[in-house]
Structure 1
Amino acid sequence: MGIVTTSAGIEMLLRWGHLLGGITWIGLLYYFNFVQTEYFKEADASAKADALQKLAPRALWWFRWGAVLTLLTGLGMFAVSAGRISSMDISIGALLGILMFTNVWLIIWPNQKIVIASAKQVAQGGAALPNAAEALAAAGLASRTNALFSIPMLYFMAASSHYPHLTFKFLPFIIAVVIILLLEYNGAYLALKRFDIVKKLPAAGKMGPYTSIAGVIHSGLGLAVVLFLLLDLL
């Protein structure tokens, strides 16, 4: 049989697509967080407005559809492997990736559309949209959270093949999941606080160390170390 008709061949093609989608997605995530955001802090108003109207929409298109390709090919590999979870590492990596995907489509992109629409309205002589600043803050925090998550996510995706934790350990896994979900709650809070149920929960939505590039990188590395130690030592 030809390689494409075997499960191993199909899985390899899906893995290839997963890598292509992931490189596109994460590469643009780093561009937004480490390049564009810093440029916007120093850019003239006219240059920033032009980039928001012409550059950002193009980059966001590749960004969000790269995320879709990454998710679909990842689910495809899971289906080809008959739903087998090979290690705790892939479970942690997949959880981080799925949260990052939901942040892209449910928080970052919807709020960036508001920011772009506001920039276009101002360029045409109108007033900025009243919720543009709030949308920018929500998208920015979710994007920083994704940058944070990407560092341990990339480690655990690689570790699932090269340094896997094959024995499932309930306690360290649950602790790891709780840590991740608490960080996600903080990252999504500004977008979710309009819902009544969220208003009853503890306030969050703090940038904290994410404000700087060094801060988000160090936080991501720290999170990766903490999660690794949980799986490796407990």
Structure 2
Amino acid sequence: MELITTSLGVEMLLRWGHFMAGITWIGLLYYFNFVQTEYFKEADATSKSDAIQKLVPKALWWFRWGAMFTLLTGLGIFAVRGGGMSMDIYVGALLGLFMFLNVWLIIWPNQKIVIASATQAAGGGVALPEAAGALATAGLASRTNTLFSIPMLFFMGASAHYPHSFSILAFLVAVVVIVALEFNGAYPAIKHIDVFKKLPEGGKMKLYASVNGVIYCGLGLTVILFLILDLL
């Protein structure tokens, strides 16, 4: 009984940490996509440069480490429970994993280039020529994360009420849909890798380039994934 109580206590602490880190991460994701990006479209060059140098690095610190601790606490919950959870949790976890990888492997490295370029230009130097491409690459990955976040939050929140069943077919179809969207979002960052050169070109953001577009697409993706899990 003591062992069971201790295990439940550890799980509850992990869930609390997962919840806190997730709020930090997703909250800043929505700030970047719904607030900061729209502000930058209207801001004058001086204000934008100042924000990129002083505000963005601080926000990105909390953003990427929020993502890190969300992943670590999530893995801890899996370890404590030992698997055997409902299918929706695995789909939500896959979405979260791709979002984490996008943060650390695409968004943060490319935002560092943008920040360095703004700092160099503000100091009287020349802006880095690769900064525009880096901003576009980070922007697409960030929009993809926003798209993924909507179904991810649904599946994580609904997990306590979801049937504890697992359909291999439904899971595989959901994985195909998610991987295809991730490929599109990551394409500008991976297109130079030989194995991806033979695949169809990705990197399209037309449907979710706007705030309304990414929200509608996220809601649509949630419905599609829900129907896949529910009907298959």
Q: TM-score, normalised by structure 1?
A: 0.96
Q: What is the aligned partner in structure 2 of residue 131 from structure 1?
A: 130
Q: What is the aligned partner in structure 1 of residue 114 from structure 2?
A: 115
Judge conservation of contact 1:96–1:180 (CA < 8 Å) in 2. yes
| SS of alignment partner, residue 207 of structure 2 | helix
Q: What is the aligned partner in structure 1 of residue 23 from structure 2?
A: 23
Counterpart code for 1:205: G
Counterpart code for 1:86: M
- Residues 200 and 120 (structure 1 numbering): CA distance in 2 closer, same or farther, change over 3 Å? same
| SS of alignment partner, residue 134 of structure 2 | helix
Counterpart code for 2:91: I
Counterpart code for 1:204: G
Equivalences for residues 1-234 of structure 1 within 5 A: 6-82=6-82, 84-162=83-161, 164-234=162-232
State the shift of 1:63 in Å: 0.2
Alpha-carbon separation, structure 2, partners of 1:43 and 1:37: 10
Alpha-carbon separation, structure 2, partners of 1:190 and 1:102: 14
Alignment root-mean-square deviation, CA:
1.5
What whole-Å deviation, never above 9, does each CA across 1:186-234 have from its counterpart, x for those lacking one? 0000111122222222111011111100000000000000000111122
Counterpart code for 1:71: L
Alpha-carbon separation, structure 2, partners of 1:146 and 1:177: 16
- Residues 166 and 53 (structure 1 numbering): CA distance in 2 closer, same or farther, change over 3 Å? same
Counterpart code for 2:156: M
State percent identity of aligned pairs. 70
| SS of alignment partner, residue 200 of structure 2 | coil
Counterpart code for 2:126: A
What whole-Å deviation, never above 9, does each CA across 1:60-90 have from its counterpart, x for those lacking one? 00000000110000011111112x1310000
Alpha-carbon separation, structure 2, partners of 1:165 and 1:101: 27
Alpha-carbon separation, structure 2, partners of 1:74 and 1:124: 42
Counterpart code for 2:183: Y
State the shift of 1:4 in Å: 11
Judge conservation of contact 1:7–1:80 (CA < 8 Å) in 2. yes
Alpha-carbon separation, structure 1, partners of 2:216 and 2:110: 26
Counterpart code for 2:168: F
State the shift of 1:32 in Å: 0.2
What whole-Å deviation, never above 9, does each CA across 1:143-176 have from its counterpart, x for those lacking one? 00000000000000112112x1322111111111
Alpha-carbon separation, structure 2, partners of 1:171 and 1:2: 39
Alpha-carbon separation, structure 2, partners of 1:34 and 1:233: 33
Alpha-carbon separation, structure 2, partners of 1:219 and 1:180: 13
Q: TM-score, normalised by structure 2?
A: 0.97
| Number of equivalent positions | 232
